[in-house]
Chains A and B, each alone.
Chain A
């Protein structure tokens, strides 16, 4: 965790958090699919104060060539934070944290993509964090799987992602920035709802066994909600596209906010 101490009361007398949320409440989530013109697929996620864009190119020729797999597509990911996405300007370019996040997100996505359909190719996923407020890897993974679906990449399912954690000795869902900085633990989870599989899992901080069990179950439950928002974004995207082509489709569904 951030390792900083504070006088800020992360949970008040009523059991509410800094931004008024209950412990098991997620920040508002909004997802738009197909927001970029050049990319084969894209998605934009606003999750609390996070603003994250994901783009997918491919399947396309694999670079670097020596990484080509004669049997499968390679899912590559670059997670990047814009220099202006945090209070203190971040030095542009990859750092060790972003390398690690890129790696685990690529691994999580590889699990759901039918990579065997596209031997020798690369499917490149780019995640740009435009505004960061804790939980950007979950927002990035959530956006990336919508962008993959938007690109028409065949997938077993979407990956939905959300974190749980511990603040003021309470297990809570979806940590905000102050909670991340001053909290006691963080557990980002990436989950495949159709198969009930965990494809991304990290943890840092201090948790008893019971707290960990509760946290993972809470995060998995939230992933199922995130999944509904992801599906809704894709449905709206394709309803709009069908409407453009004069195909009669279901009336545009109301934008869902979890």
Chain B
């Protein structure tokens, strides 16, 4: 993220509010912004979703093509996740090859889907060891007001849930719904002035000391985590965020 002087001014404002456990947009510290999910938004994709989380807006498209499995997983389809932080979404995003920020977003989304077994990859095999479905989950950020991790994660889950394997188009029999197993939902929290708040806005992210994303599945088990930024958490804060993630993740899941 680019440097900017405004961040210092906003930091004072955010800090003053935080001293009273308040946030600039009136939310409680453990309150997510309003979430909307619109699926099947892109007809040319096998599955898609447009998600808004407050002012953050992302589109996730799922495409499936035929290809070869990895040699060490002959009985499994292939998952590839990509995130494009395009200049349209923020003055701080630049065009060009993915930078570390977008790679991190993509890899954290990927980790949630993969480790949370969002899709039964064993059902994406056409011929073991020879031909499988390669599943591309592409995250397109349209409007960036913080917390890409959760908006993109929710978008990916929603897009996968409605995706159809385009078998007939490739002469591989009838189309069938993508075999979805779980909804691994990630919830992200940041620490500012020693306080933990969920679903940070762009302004909050800019002044945050540390960030932690935790993804859970339906039974409450954890499937993926990522700590970010150069601040630190205590062990107790980590456990607190995991609890928040479990609770808020279940709430988000109920909106599917």
Q: Let me know if B227 and A207 touch, CB within 8 A.
A: no
Q: Let me know if B221 and A197 touch, CB within 8 A.
A: no
Q: Is B167 engaged at the interface, CB distance under 8 Å to the other chain?
A: no
Q: Let me know if A216 and B226 touch, CB within 8 A.
A: no
Q: Let me know if A206 and B230 touch, CB within 8 A.
A: no
Chain B residues with CB below 8 A from A100, complex form = 100, 103-104, 107
Q: Is B42 engaged at the interface, CB distance under 8 Å to the other chain?
A: no
Q: Is A102 engaged at the interface, CB distance under 8 Å to the other chain?
A: yes
Q: Let me know if A201 and B233 touch, CB within 8 A.
A: yes
Given known A100-B104, A197-B233, A203-B222, contact A1–B238 (CB-CB < 8 A): no
Q: Let me know if B234 and A3 touch, CB within 8 A.
A: no
How many residue-residue contacts, CB under 8 A, span A and B? 105
- Residue in A107, A187, A209, A217 whose beta carbon sits within 8 Å of that of B235 in the complex: A217
CA distance A200 to B234 in the complex (A): 11
CA distance A196 to B238 in the complex (A): 12
Q: Is B92 engaged at the interface, CB distance under 8 Å to the other chain?
A: no
Chain A residues with CB below 8 A from B3, complex form = 69
CA distance A206 to B209 in the complex (A): 28
Closest B residue, CB atoms, query A106 = B230
Given known A4-B72, A198-B234, A201-B212, contact A212–B227 (CB-CB < 8 A): no
State the Cβ distance, B217 to closest chain A Cβ, in Å: 8
Chain A residues with CB below 8 A from B234, complex form = 196-198
Q: Is B160 engaged at the interface, CB distance under 8 Å to the other chain?
A: no
Q: Is A233 engaged at the interface, CB distance under 8 Å to the other chain?
A: no
Convert B169-197 into 0s and 1s, putting 1 for each residue whose CB lies closer than 8 angstroms to a CB of A. 00000000000000000000000000000
Q: Let me know if A104 and B227 touch, CB within 8 A.
A: yes
Q: Let me know if B238 and A198 touch, CB within 8 A.
A: yes
A-B pairs with lowest CB-CB distance, top 8:
A197-B232, A203-B225, A110-B230, A201-B227, A107-B230, A204-B115, A103-B100, A207-B222
Count the A residues whose beta carbon is within 8 Å of the partner chain — how many? 40
Q: Let me know if A96 and B227 touch, CB within 8 A.
A: no
State the Cβ distance, A117 to closest chain B Cβ, in Å: 16
Interface of B is mostly: mixed
Given known A4-B73, A100-B100, A198-B233, contact A206–B222 (CB-CB < 8 A): yes
Q: Let me know if A205 and B242 touch, CB within 8 A.
A: no
Q: Is B23 engaged at the interface, CB distance under 8 Å to the other chain?
A: no
Q: Is B137 engaged at the interface, CB distance under 8 Å to the other chain?
A: no
Q: Let me know if A196 and B235 touch, CB within 8 A.
A: yes
Could you tell me which residues of chain A, from 1 to 20, have a CB within 8 Å of some CB in chain B? 1-4
Given known A100-B103, A100-B104, A220-B235, contact A212–B73 (CB-CB < 8 A): no
Given known A198-B238, A207-B222, contact A103–B104 (CB-CB < 8 A): yes
State the Cβ distance, A173 to closest chain B Cβ, in Å: 16
Q: Let me know if B103 and A212 touch, CB within 8 A.
A: no
Q: Using a CB–CB distance below 8 Å, which chain B residues touch chain A?
A: 3, 72-73, 76, 98, 100, 103-104, 106-107, 111, 114-115, 121, 212, 214, 217, 220-235, 238-239, 242, 246
CA distance A69 to B111 in the complex (A): 32
Q: Let me know if B111 and A204 touch, CB within 8 A.
A: yes
State the Cβ distance, B119 to closest chain A Cβ, in Å: 12
Given known A198-B235, A201-B212, A206-B223, contact A111–B103 (CB-CB < 8 A): no
Closest B residue, CB atoms, query A108 = B230
Q: List 9 A-B contacts (CB under 8 A).
A: A75-B230, A96-B98, A96-B103, A100-B100, A111-B231, A111-B232, A199-B230, A203-B226, A206-B222
Given known A107-B230, A202-B226, A206-B222, contact A99–B100 (CB-CB < 8 A): yes
State the Cβ distance, B82 to closest chain A Cβ, in Å: 9
Could you tell me which residues of chain A, from 102 to 129, have a CB within 8 Å of some CB in chain B? 102-104, 106-108, 110-111
State the Cβ distance, A80 to closest chain B Cβ, in Å: 14
Q: Let me know if A104 and B228 touch, CB within 8 A.
A: yes
CA distance A45 to B217 in the complex (A): 37
State the Cβ distance, B91 to closest chain A Cβ, in Å: 15
CA distance A3 to B76 in the complex (A): 9
CA distance A167 to B24 in the complex (A): 44
From B104, B217, B221, B234, residue with most partner A Cβ within 10 Å: B221
State the Cβ distance, B238 to closest chain A Cβ, in Å: 6
Q: Told that A111-B232, A199-B232, A203-B225 touch, could you supply 13 new A-B pairs with CB distance under 8 A? A: A3-B121, A4-B73, A103-B228, A104-B104, A104-B226, A110-B230, A111-B231, A202-B226, A204-B114, A204-B115, A205-B115, A209-B222, A209-B246
